Amino acid sequence: MDYDRDGRLDVFVANYASPNVLLHNAGDGTFEDRAEAAGLARPGALRAVWTDYDHDGWPDVLFASTPAGIRLLHNEGDGRFRDATDEVGLPRWPPAEGAAFGDVDGDGDLDLVLAAGRDFPDSFTLRAGSLVFAVPGRKGIVIRVEGPDEAPPAALYDEGVQLTDAPALAAEGRGWALRWNGPGRLVGLIGPGLTAASLDGARPWRARQPHRLYLNRGDGTFVEAVGALPERGNGQAVALADVDNDGDLDLYVVQSGVEGADEPDLLYLNDGHGRFSTTAGMPPTEGRGCGAHFADFDGGEQPARARRLDRSRGGWSPPEPLP
């Protein structure tokens, strides 16, 4: 990705539990982190997808899953990015685990597919000294953390809107406690520096949410194609390719990704106008898939086949021919 169009490839690292990193290529084998100056350091993202959605020649970036929901950052062409989520018509909530841009309706504009997966009613993950969580309202939730001698920093969001008068962490026992009984769902990041965390008042679980398609109007804005993707699921990633060689982009959705919630992956076939139908017979998913790519790995003349990245096995699962 060459975000500043200087002819040198740069590197972007998405960090959900800490600031993102944008490594600018100096051209002499060295890189400099310019994420803060570019406006891309926060909020930390689990998925980042680069594209030129408005055809202005500058690569933009979509953060599909952050503690603050979805963010589409427009490249201003001067090394800085601007949050354009609202003006282009994309929702900030719920976030999505997987995202991909592609022209699914054949009009020459890049459309957006979002795989539901991080719309946790309740979630709780301590990783690398930082806690990422989502908890419901009106449940008397108590989050307790241990580690730092002083109250750790916290970024808190109510339904995707950052709280300016957020509840404070109070000293309690060997650590700190955050209490939430507000009306909305609280999503946040606490840390770094944590050594332990616990949750009282809610049990983490994962909801099955609809996958979504947003069509590009051609003027830099999007409109949701309601019902275009008929199935719900726990999507983790999406990949677009013409699997049946009919000239349009089809869609593969990697499902599950959490223990005890295995579901079959979904293959959607495109009718050429951005309307999709699922194929039957996809095998149940085993393990915790987190990505998929299409490639003609056997050099034949058959449609592309999918390989599925399985993080529980630490590598590629065996490829299988798509129907």
- Asked whether residue 6 is domain-assigned, the answer is no
- Asked whether residue 313 is domain-assigned, the answer is no
54 with 188, same domain? no
- Asked whether residue 3 is domain-assigned, the answer is no
In the chain, which stretches have pLDDT less than 50? Answer: 118-121, 205, 259, 303-323
- Asked whether residue 254 is domain-assigned, the answer is yes
90 with 46, same domain? yes
Q: Both tokens of residue 56?
A: 């202005």
pLDDT attached to residue 15:
85
Overall number of domains in the chain: 2
pLDDT attached to residue 122:
60
Examine the fold and report which residue of 200, 234, 259 is the final residue of a domain before the chain moves on: 200
**Domain CATH code at residue 248:** 2.130.10.10
The set of long-range contacts for 256-259, using a CB threshold of 8 Å and a minimum separation of 24, is 256/285, 256/288, 256/289, 257/97, 257/117, 257/288, 257/289, 257/290, 257/311, 258/206, 258/234, 258/288, 259/288
Examine the fold and report which residue of 172, 200, 228 is the final residue of a domain before the chain moves on: 200
The whole model's pTM is what? 0.72
| Pick from 54, 76, 77, 61: nearest CA to 22 | 61
150 with 267, same domain? no
105 with 132, same domain? no
Examine the fold and report which residue of 175, 200, 225 is the final residue of a domain before the chain moves on: 200
- Asked whether residue 293 is domain-assigned, the answer is no
pLDDT attached to residue 82:
96
Domain encompassing residue 151: 124-200
pLDDT attached to residue 119:
43
pLDDT attached to residue 185:
75
- Asked whether residue 315 is domain-assigned, the answer is no
Average per-residue pLDDT for the chain: 82
183 with 250, same domain? no
How far apart are the C-alpha atoms of 304 and 321, rounded to whole Å? Answer: 8
- Asked whether residue 166 is domain-assigned, the answer is yes
